Amino acid sequence: MSTTNPHTSDAADPLTPTDHKAFAFAGQVNSSLRACLCTLARHGVALRRRCPERAAAALALVRPWPLYKGGQFLFDLMEWEDLMVDGEPPPLMPAERIRGTFSYPVRWLATSTAPHPTPVGPLPGQRTAATLDLPLRLLAGTARAALEGAALDLGDLLGAPAAAPPETEADSAVEDDELPHLEAGFYLYQDIVLGALTVLGPLLAEHAPEEQRLAEPGDG
């Protein structure tokens, strides 16, 4: 007959239920960060193999930047390589989700660094969310679902399928199922940077200085 107390392990747990939930959320953040970094790195490997001249030119351009050097320092300090390569590879994070995550920070940076910056207004929907006392994410998700449903219904009524979103350079470069595996080691941080250029490049280009957007390719 076993003398083990079935409640011993629970009673010996010094963490509270709130602690467990907090760490569960932290683990979710770690998992999402790992998936994002690994996805960017795989896009970077694909770019480095497919367009070596473009990859080399991009890295030569950003290497002198403090932001690049600071990113390298934090990457090594936080041991993100271990986070990325330990265990089974995470599922790919959709490029559209990555761009959506960075859209507001990029808009904030674009507004703050413009020659004549203007204050960044509240997040879209923030006033409505405050008025209705609803979480902004819930309101945004509900509105998005309603608009998408209305668009599909309208397409059905008109007898035509809903149009697919326009394909971007990042989407058309490499299909997700064709992305190569990670290459741990010297190239890993560089591959993340190149992957960010591939995935976030169209988003960053939208906020380029006006004279750069109007310039023709090849203009000096």
pLDDT of the residue at 53 = 96
Q: What is the DSSP letter of 4?
A: -
**pLDDT in the model for residue 162:** 37
208, pLDDT greater than 50 = yes
Identity of the highest mean pLDDT range in 87-91, 121-125, 130-134, 135-139: 87-91
Q: How confident is the model at residue 115 (pLDDT cuts 50, 70, 90)?
A: confident
Tens digits of per-residue pLDDT, 11-32? 688 999 999 999 999 999 999 9
Q: Which residue has the higher pLDDT, 173 or 48?
A: 48
Q: What's the CA angle centered on 115, arms 113 and 117, to 5 degrees? A: 60
Is the predicted pLDDT of residue 171 greater than 80, yes or no? no
pLDDT of 189 above 90: yes
Q: Which positions ≥6 away from 42 have C-beta within 8 Å? A: 92, 179, 180, 181, 182, 191, 195
Q: Kindly indicate the confidence band of residue 210, based on its pLDDT and cuts at 50, 70 and 90.
A: confident
pLDDT value at residue 119: 58
Taking residues 191-217, what's their average pLDDT?
82
Please state which of the ranges 46-50, 173-177, 179-183 shows the lowest mean pLDDT. Answer: 173-177
User: What is the model's pTM?
Assistant: 0.66
Name every residue whose Cβ is closer than 8 Å to that of residue 189 and which is 6 or more positions away in sequence. Answer: 71, 72, 75, 81
